[in-house]
Amino acid sequence: MPANLTPEYLEAEARFKQAKSIPEKIKALEVMLAVIPKHKGTEKLRGQLKSRMAKLKEELQRKPTIGRAEQAFNIKREGAAQVVLLGLPNSGKSALFSKLTNAFSEVADYPFTTRKPIPGMMKFENLQIQLVDTPPIQLDHIEPGFPNLIRNGDALLILVDLTEDPIFQMEILLEELKGMRINIGGKGPIPSPEVGWAYKKVLLIGNKCDAKNAMEGYRAFENHFGNHFTILPISAKERMNFEELKKEVYQLLGIIRIYTKAPGKEPDLTEPVILKKGSTVEEVALSIHKDFAAKLRYAKIWGSGKFDGQMVKRDYQVNEGDVIELHI
């Protein structure tokens, strides 16, 4: 029996074929189903349209949840650097995060308290460094978006609970990071990059230093991992070693602070220019404006120069705390 499809139906079908998004496709299908002549000859076609519709609706339901979960792990970088906290459940990440930053993350004595990453700003001298609290790392289950969050960070703070076999905790963390193709290190040179792998600098933190048996755990941990990583014992609860911790985080980032000034004026020491260690005068200029770098003739330097106000060229390597006057 001929299907006798109407022009209305054929028009909707054309729209369906051209549709790019799922909602557009669903809309066109709805029209097709509404206007299709309902007789024996179209029975099979109607069945196909209905099952297509069901599949599209299911897809629509599924899509945003994956998207939303991933989006929660997309934390916009703010301040001088982004540092991601990592650890097993109950290691004290949120306790530390809440005390070091202006933000709040729930602390509780049961595991999996933190479900989504939370950003906060930590003040260190004249700098703001972003810390990101995260859900715990667990064996064989990685949330979508988590590997990217770790890869995008400038450095990692790995927390272990010193009272709960810290070596074993670290072994699990290393295993899970390996699964995400993330290589970590602390001391020593940065290894040459491998395709598909990311390398992250790490500071290891032994938490709960205030608790009984913590120092025993610390000594064993230090013996095991001390050659490859800087390890700092702290207590998030008692705020022990917080100043040291902030300094170590800054060291870990491998950044320097430079101050610029206009001729005859004083530099603004509250507004550092943040650069990678080893940067040059040219990169100082570039951080202000690309035209500035192009037109740069020379600079005067206070700090690491041979004398105050020394004239230097664009390839001069600047150092922590230098004050630079750019001349174009």
Ligand X SMILES: Nc1nc2c(ncn2[C@@H]2O[C@H](COP(=O)(O)OP(=O)(O)OP(=O)(O)O)[C@@H](O)[C@H]2O)c(=O)[nH]1
Which string of DSSP letters, residue by residue, matches 39-80?
SGGGHHHHHHHHHHHHHHHHHHHHHHHHHHHHHHT-PPP-BS
Reported as half-sphere exposure (CB side, CA atoms, 13 A), residue 278 has a value of: 2
Q: Is 109 in the site for ligand X (CB under 6 A)?
A: yes
Range in contact with ligand X (rule: CB under 6 A) among 8-16, 39-47, 105-113, 138-146: 105-113
Place of tokens 């101050």: 259
The residue (of 114 and 169) whose beta carbon lies closer to Mg ion is 114
Widest CA span of the chain, in angstroms? Answer: 98
**Residues 123-142, mask of contacts with ligand X (x by CB under 6 A):** -------------x------
Q: Is 198 in the site for ligand X (CB under 6 A)?
A: no
The residue (of 11 and 165) whose beta carbon lies closer to ligand X is 165
The type of residue at 292 is: F
Q: Is 245 in the site for ligand X (CB under 6 A)?
A: no
Q: Is 25 in the site for ligand X (CB under 6 A)?
A: no
| Binding residues for ligand X restricted to 205-234, rule: CB under 6 A | 207-208, 210-211
The residue (of 90 and 279) whose beta carbon lies closer to ligand X is 90
Selection from 323, 325, 320 nearest residue 125 by Cα: 320
Q: Which does 91 bind (CB under 5 to 8 A by kind): ligand X, Mg ion, none?
A: ligand X
Distance CA(303)–CA(305), nearest Å, equals: 6
| SS3 of residue 159 by DSSP | strand
**Residues 284-323, mask of contacts with ligand X (x by CB under 6 A):** ----------------------------------------
Reported as half-sphere exposure (CB side, CA atoms, 13 A), residue 314 has a value of: 12
Catalog residues that contact ligand X under the rule CB under 6 A. Answer: 87, 89-95, 107-109, 111-114, 136, 207-208, 210-211, 235-237
